[in-house]
Copies of this chain bind each other. A is one copy, B any other.
Amino acid sequence: MDRINIKKLAKELNVSPSTISRAFRGYSDINQETKERILLAAHKLNYQPNVYASNLREMKSKNIAVIIPEIANNFFSQAIDGLERITRQKGYNILIFRTENDFDKQVSFINQLNNGSVDGVIMSACGEANDHEYLQRLLRKNIPVVFFDRVYDDIEAPKVTTNDYESSFSGTRHLIECGCQKIAHLVINKNFSLSSVRMAGYRDALQKYARPFEKELVLDCGLDHKKNYNTIKKAFQTWKPDGIFASVERLAFTTYHVCHDLNISIPQQVKILSFSSLEIAPLLNPALTTITQPAYDMGSKAAMLLFKALERGTDEPVPEHIILKSKLIKRESTAAG
Enumerate chain A interface residues (CB-CB to B < 8 A): 1, 46, 48-53, 55-56, 61, 63, 70-74, 77-78, 80-81, 84, 88, 93-98, 112, 114-117, 137, 140-141, 253, 256-257, 279-280, 282-287, 296
Contact = CB atoms under 8 A, between A and B. Distances in A.
A98 B80 CA distance: 10
Q: In the A-B complex, list the 6 residue pairs whose CB atoms are closest, starting with the nearest.
A: A285-B285, A48-B115, A52-B55, A52-B56, A72-B77, A51-B115
Contact of A71 (B71, B114, B257): B71
Contact of A284 (B98, B115, B285): B285
B141 A46 contact: yes
B285 A50 contact: no
Contacts of A117: 51-52, 93
A88 B105 CA distance: 11
Contact of A116 (B50, B112, B253): B50
6 contacts: A71-B81, A72-B74, A72-B296, A80-B96, A93-B96, A96-B96
A96 B96 CA distance: 7
A286 to B, nearest CB: 7
Given A51-B116, A52-B52, A253-B280, 6 more contacts: A46-B114, A71-B77, A72-B80, A72-B81, A93-B97, A94-B95
